[in-house]
Structure formats: structure tokens, C-alpha cells
Amino acid sequence: MDKKQVVTINTMHTCPMTTGNTPHVGGPIIGPGCSTATLNGIPIALQGDKCICAAGGQDVILQGCPTATINGVPIALQGSPTAHGGTIPAGVPGAVIISKNTSVLEAGAEGEPAVYNLQWKKEDLIVQETKVEKVVTLVADTRNISDGEEVVIKVHTKEPDGGSTVVAELKGIVENNQVKVDWKVEEQQEPTEPSADCTVRFVLGKNENNNFGFDSYEVSKKGCKDKEKLKSAYKKLEPFREEYLMPWISLGKGETIFLKQKIKGKYKEITFKEPKSYFTFEPATITPKTEQVKITCNDTITEKEYKVEVLADGKVAGGLMFVGNSVKHIIVRPVFVLESKNEGQKKELKDIAGKEKLEKYFKKAFAPSLIKTDVKEPYKLSLSENDYIHPDKALNYIKGIRACFNIKNGIEIENPTDDKREELIKNLNQLFILSKIENKIETINEIVLFLTNFQCTGDKSAKEVPDSYNGFTYGKSVIMMFLANKNVFPNVEIPHEVMHALDLEHTFDSKEVYHFTKGATKNYMDYDNKKKYTFKWQWEKMRNSKWIIVPLLFLLFVLNACSSYKNIDCNYNYNIREEEKKVDTLSSDFKWYTEKKINNDAVWYEKPLIASKVKRFTKYIEKDTLGIEMNTLIEYDLEGNIKSVRSSIPYIPVGREFIFDDQGNIKEVINHDEGWKICAFQ
């Protein structure tokens, strides 16, 4: 049987095309992919998804698997061709499509472990819906998992919006190619009556470490611009005689937290109502002599949220909300940017942000969100073209990096036109991609962290310039740190930038869910502060990021056979007008990056890339016909002479591409519809 690996976003493609004398090399697939079908938490790539070429703009996946589709769109596989004539050399190991005698996407290649044929049972009878029982049993068959090994099965409940929520994680031991797990379901209990006059609240006590998260409304409301809205981030203790917003606690298995209690009213003793024994409370009974209570987590909390009631003489006087404590994982790839093989620079960067130090910074910052960071060995990226197999390609990007500097070894930002950080990080990333390809290094699902000895300075009081110059995150995937700056705090600023990659905005950014005054909190995503904590709603955003690595169990696809198509006219060619063969960029009517409407088409011009050896600018024409997006790209040289015309729907090349000579005559025609059984329109 022919097996091919399934491809996801961020997978690398190769490209044989050249622009002039500059090879495109290839680069990552950027999507959009299918956000509802993922492998390891990463969207599966589809036919028509964009790819980035290191030195040639955008490429596109031309063809996927016609018999394996998502919403009718073929999924991309190992070996799928791209528009530039390239291919995708590899996909996700362990996730393959078998071309014969199968109707499923295998959980893995032959020999890979799998869990299947799951059935709910009770007293050997299949249960269609799990009701409130003392014990419900789950039985499943296994393949290629040795007897005695432990497997984890997640139980989901359907939500009204069509989504699902994990309500339990069940562990079982494989025996005779089968796993059997008992799920203890708590019976409904009568609610405890609230106390008449006693209220117990909690604040942080004396803790030796910060391997936990504690988020209370009493702390977070300081500096919040909409306190009523913020209340929605917390659970109310109900029924209760007054408004009581329970604090959120995240606590990993085996970790501890010390809390001080603040008690109003009369009581003899205070206890904790915790039916599942996830936690140990020391002391178990609080008396007026108790200074603080130690809480130890004994197990993995299978619920998404878990409430512990605090009782004063047997009646509810307070509560604590714990979050599910399964550990999530991210991967960070540090990249030391060096002047050739400069050992002095390497030592300086290692002393500031070496692997061990980064692990320490991340452990403290991400403990509340229960995210573990896998820090890879730092990659050495040279700024000397002589250290590359293709020195001419490397030199293009190195020149692009140097061109961003307006002071020695860095950038000074006095106004928006001086802000070359985005251009700088793009050139760094392209150089990194080239280096990875030359050295055959894979960086799948890794957040790239460029650690440089560059400077970035400016006048913070000036309008429209950044508030901070020490770090910069681009596209929520690539980070650059300016470690030659004065007053650098890598222990908090590097995690701050990684949190940007994990979808967090600044607490004072109006785009965030809750809006705070700048500098009013001690949150990691604030400025002008001593960063100490994150909020529970931030934990959730980070844990749902695309960078989270999720173990792959198995994924089922319905494989659709090719069917007949309507009679759709596939003939399309862009008819170039004579006036389009020459563009006067010096004309008073000409403007870069300014969109105009011409005959209901969106038209704009983009400048050539600094790193591109062959300097060309592009005219984009975007046409919307009956909901179908048609794009036409016309390339010109710096004198405004036409060089090429090509079209796509939306990213799939269609019709004929025309290449022009210096006199504006067509010298070559490429038919993108040739060899296809169906055209892009179909």
C-alpha cells in the first residue's frame, strides 16, 4: 500500500524556481489550513494554501489528495506539488494516508500505537449516554501497545455551540490488547446551607516558590477600566448572602500553595468540603490560631473547573475554584545571532539567555498557566556569508539586515519611518530558513527566539513610537530580543514576548478582553512594572494557542471519491492593456500601498523587497466575481517596464502566465491549466 504523510501548517516546502539569479529555496507553509482539523494542535494544510519562498514571495500548494478532503478541499500530503514547481518533502511522522483498501486516516504508520473501538459499558451492557452513576466503565481495543503500558483517554461533553469540553482524563493499563477504565461519577449532593454571618476569603501567604497560579478579583480589579465586566471572569459563590467572587487557583500534581485566610464573623472551626480528595489541606481544620493553610495537590484534576467549598461550623462561608491541571507543552528555539564564529558574542548571549537561564525564566512565568516549555539547544546563526553553502543567497539577507540599521549595530526610532524592526526580523528569519535548509534542520511547531547583541533605542516621549525597545514579536511566531540595550530584563521580557506569540496582548491594549491602565498591575503583559503574575483568562488564551503541542491519538476522515463536475468554463486569461505595459512611478497620481477602486476591482502597488537581488515592484488586482476571489499580479522592473503577468483563484494559478522581453513583447507563455483533469474554477 502507498502511504504518504499528512502535511500541517509550518511544514517546509522546497522550490526550484529562481527570480533572476536568486533561487527561491523554499520555506514554510503559512496556511490558512483547516483550524477545525489539526495534528498536534496544528491545522492540517489544504490544497490552495500559501507557502513562503525564502527569496521569491509566495508559492501555493497546487494539488492535494483528491480522495481525502475537508469540506470538499483536498488535504496536502507529502509530495504535493506547488505552483513554483516545488514539492513538500515530508509531513507529520505517524499520520499517513493509505491509498488502497482503507477509509480512514491511520493513527500512525505500521507499528504505531492506536486506541480504537471505544464503548461505554456497565454490567457488560453498552451504555449510550453516561448518566449519574457510581461507576461507568469504558472498554477500548488497542494496537501495538505493550501489555502493562498506561494509556490516557479523554472524555468530552458536547456544548450547545457544537464544540466540546474535556470533562475527564481516564488512565488505564493495557492487558491482552484491551484497556478497561472505570470512571467514578459523583452523585448529586444536596447543597450546603450558607453561613448566616461568617465569611472566609483568601490571599497569598508566604510561598517559597511560584509553581502555582492565584488570581483573585480583589487583586486584579486594581487598574481595571471596567470592573463590572471583569467580574465575569470569576465564578460567584451561590447561594450566598453577599457577592463573593471565588479566586482561581492553578496547581500542578505534587505542587503546594500557602494561603492566608481573612475571616469575618463568629465561628468555632473552619473546614474544607472536597469530595474527590484531589487536595490535602494542612491543617484540615482552621481555628483562630491558624496563620495560614497549606494546600497540596495529590492528583491530576480531570474536571475543567473544580470547586472547593469552605465551611464555617458546617455551613458555606467561602470557596476556591481550581482549574484542570493537565500540563500543556510549547517548544522554543533560541537562535544566537553572531558575527561569524564569534565565541565572545556567543558567551555574552549565553550568559544573558542561555538554555538553562531560559528554562528558569519560563518555568516561573508559565507555571500559573500549567505550560511547560521545551527549550531547544541554541542555534548559531552567522552574519557572515562565508559560513553558508550558498553565500550569494545569504548575502542578500545579511545586506537586508544591515540596511535596517541607522545607528551602529542597531536602530534608533524617533518616528514611525525609523521603525525598521519588522523588516529586520523578516530578513533574520529568511536567513535562518536558508541556514536550516542548508544544514537540514527541522523546526516543526517551534517559536523562534532571535537573541541578538543589536541595539534598539529612541525617544519614548515621542508620539507613535514603541513604549519598549527590548523585544519585538512578529506574526505571533518569531521573536527578536535587543540584548545590547541598557536596562534589559530578560528574565521577564523574554517570557513577555513568548506570551505575545501565545496570543496575549498588552493588558493596556484595547484589543484585549479586559482593559487595564498601563503600569497599574504586576502582570507579565503590562509595562513599567515588576512582572509577577498572569490572570486566569490569560492562562486559557495561552493554553489554546496554536503553539501548544497536543499528543496525537488518531484522526478520522471521511474520504470522498471524485464525482462529476458541472460544465464550468475553465478558459481564463488576463488581457493586458497597452497602458499597463509601462508605469510611471514619478507621476503625481502614483502612490505605493494605496488601494484604488477601478471598475470594482481593488488595485494597489507594492515596493520590491530589500533582500531581493532582482528588484521588481508588483501591481495587485483583486477581483470579486460572484463570490470568487480572482487575483492578478503584474511585475515591473524599477523603470516601470512590464516583466510578467499571472492570475490565481484565490491562490491557485489559473490560465496562462505571460513573460515579457525588454520591448514589452511576450516571449514565453506558461499554461497553468495544462495537465489537470479539472481546472481551478471547478
Phi, psi angle pair for 480, to nearest 5°: -130, 130
pLDDT of 42 reads 85
Within 10 angstroms of residue 158's Cβ, the number of other Cβ atoms is 9
Q: What amino acid is encoded at 599 in this protein? A: N
Tell me: the pLDDT tens digits for 345-379?
778 888 888 899 999 999 999 999 999 999 999 99
pLDDT of 174 reads 86
Tell me: the pLDDT tens digits for 286-329?
988 888 999 999 998 888 899 999 999 888 999 999 999 889 99
Q: Residue 427: CB partners within 8 Å, gap ≥ 6?
A: 397, 398, 400, 401, 404, 610, 611
Distance CA 57, CA 646 (A): 14
Beta bridge partners of 516: 224
User: Crossing angle of helices 343-353/355-366, nearest 10°?
Assistant: 20
Distance CA 292, CA 270 (A): 12
Query: Counting Cβ atoms within 10 Å, is residue 295 exposed (0-12), middle (13-18) or buried (19+)?
Result: buried
Q: Give 56-115 as a DSSP string.
A: S-EEEB---EEEEEETTEEEPBTT-BBTTS-B-----TT-EEE-SS--S-BSSSTT--EE
Phi, psi angle pair for 334, to nearest 5°: -70, 140
Q: Which residues of 546-574 are buried (b: 16+ CB within 10 A; e: fewer)?
A: bbbbeebebeebebeeeeeeeeeeeebeb
Q: Residue 139: CB partners within 8 Å, gap ≥ 6?
A: 118, 119, 121, 178, 179, 180, 181
DSSP SS3 for 37: strand
DSSP SS3 for 669: strand
| Dihedral of the alpha carbons of 12, 74, 165, 497, in degrees to the nearest 10 | 20
Q: What amino acid is encoded at 143 in this protein? A: R
pLDDT of 104 reads 37
What's the grid cell of residue 113?
500505537
pLDDT of 307 reads 92
Distance CA 145, CA 550 (A): 19
pLDDT of 116 reads 61
> What parts of the chain have a pLDDT lower than 70?
1-2, 18-22, 55-56, 98-112, 116-135, 155-167, 184-196, 208, 341, 459-467, 529, 550-574, 609-614, 624-629, 649-652, 673-682
Instruction: Set out the domains of the chain in order of their start, with CATH numbers.
Output: 3-98 (2.60.200.60), 114-131+133-184 (no CATH), 199-323 (2.60.40), 328-543 (3.40.390), 578-671 (no CATH)
Nearest alpha carbon to residue 660 among 637, 638, 679, 678? 637
Distance CA 52, CA 75 (A): 18
What's the grid cell of residue 465?
513610537
Distances (CA, A) of 460 to 413, 503, 507, 517: 9, 25, 19, 18
Identify whether the C-beta of residue 665 lies closer than 8 Å to the C-beta of residue 680: no
Under DSSP, the state recorded for 614 is S
pTM: 0.56
Tell me: the pLDDT tens digits for 603-649?
888 887 655 566 788 887 877 554 456 778 888 988 889 999 888 76
Distance CA 658, CA 444 (A): 36
DSSP H or E stretch at residue 315: strand 315-323
Q: Give 297-310 as a DSSP string.
A: E-S---SSEEEEEE
Beta bridge partners of 114: 143
